[in-house]
Amino acid sequence: MGKKDDPFRKLLRVEPGSKVDLSRYDCGKEFGWKKGEAEDKLARNLERLAELQERIYAEAEHAVLLVFQGIDAAGKDGTIRVIAGAFNPQGTPVASFKVPTAREAAHDFLWRVHAAVPGKGEIGIFNRSHYEQVLVVRVHELEPEERWRRHYRQIRDWERILTEEGVTILKFFLAIDEDEQRERFQERVDDPNKRWKFAMGDLDERKFWSKYRAAFQEMLEETSTGYAPWYLIPANRNWLRNLAVSEIVVDTIEDLKPRYPEPEADIEGLKVT
């Protein structure tokens, strides 16, 4: 089950080759944390992330890519708002991938995604991603099975290329249960300030819950690798979700040991006139 003292990077990592059963996954797990103390720890994590991002930007030796996936209302926007709020926007490009344009559709599905990969010195964020090609494409049968199944290998190979070229990839699947999604949709309907988030099409997509769950499970099993792991985040409780993601990002970037670069000359004691 895991406990409070275990690092989230260990607790929530989907190990390569492991099986995932989302039908039995507890999306409301707390791991012994209380909301108040989790929010205090989150605040400290965000302070640390601000410093780490500045080092990443200044050193310009590392690129970090954070990928967020989840069913509608899983909390992708909210999580990104919290994590990215610690960063200088100048070094934090955020990309969201919607229905491909005619030009994008004329290329392979990774063409538009590759162009959005962060460069050295950046921490990039994908709000949805190339994984839509094995999710919505599969659920709505937009491609034959033989083709979308081929994408698993293509994605693994592409992510390996990125990591070999110095990109650190962290992938977060935000897991909520069906009842939680219903409550969040209802909250959007009931709150005049949130109604803009709701579309009648959301209810149509909700009918495909079991198909999406099967697609998510296989995505996690087929594409969580040692070089680009998935983290399965219990996301019914926003405060636990934010804490877990922030801690995984902190721990991973700290392992990169980013440093401020040396000044171009010995300027200690210099008096500016």
CA separation for the pair 34, 36 (Å, rounded): 6
The overall average pLDDT reported for the chain is 95
CB within 8 Å of 21: residues ≥ 6 apart = 217
pLDDT at res. 173: 98
Domain boundaries, the chain: 8-256
* Residue 215 and residue 134 in contact, taking contact as beta carbons nearer than 8 Å: yes
**pLDDT > 70: percent of the chain:** 98
Q: Give mean pLDDT, residues 238-263.
A: 96
177-186 LR contacts (CB < 8 Å, sep 24+): 177/27, 177/28, 177/236, 178/209, 180/27, 180/28, 180/73, 180/236, 181/71, 181/72, 181/73, 181/74, 181/206, 181/209, 182/206, 184/73, 185/73
- What pLDDT score does 58 carry? 97
Inform me whether the pLDDT recorded for 10 exceeds 90.
yes
pLDDT value at 247 more than 60: yes
Q: Is there a contact between 122 and 89 (Cβ–Cβ < 8 Å)?
A: no
At the topology level of CATH, where does 8-256 sit? Rossmann fold (3.40.50)
- The DSSP H or E segment spanning 211 is helix 209-223
Least confident of 169-178, 192-201, 212-221: 192-201
User: By the 8 A CB rule, do 94 and 127 touch?
Assistant: yes
The pLDDT of residue 2 is above 90 = no
Residue % of the chain over a pLDDT of 90: 91
Write out pLDDT tens, residues 71-89: 999 999 999 999 999 999 9
> Which pair of structure tokens corresponds to residue 241?
């979700």
Please state the rounded mean pLDDT for residues 93-103: 93
Please give the pLDDT value at position 1.
Answer: 44
pLDDT of 171 over the 90 cut: yes
Residue 3 pLDDT class (50, 70, 90 cuts): low
Binning pLDDT at 50, 70 and 90, where does residue 147 land?
very high
pLDDT band (50, 70, 90) for residue 118: very high
Extract the tokens encoding 115: 């162009």
Q: Would the CA dihedral through 85, 13, 224, 252 be positive or negative?
A: positive
State the pTM of this model. 0.95
| Sole residue written with tokens 């877990």 | 244
Confidence bin at 4 (pLDDT 50/70/90): low
* Res. 69 pLDDT band, cuts 50 70 90: very high
Find the mean pLDDT for residues 199-204. 91
pLDDT, position 265: 80
The burial of 235, by beta-carbon neighbours within 10 Å (0-12 exposed, 13-18 middle, 19 or more buried), is given as: buried
273 — pLDDT class (breaks 50, 70, 90): confident
- Comparing CA positions, the residue from 33, 65, 32 lying closest to residue 166 is 65
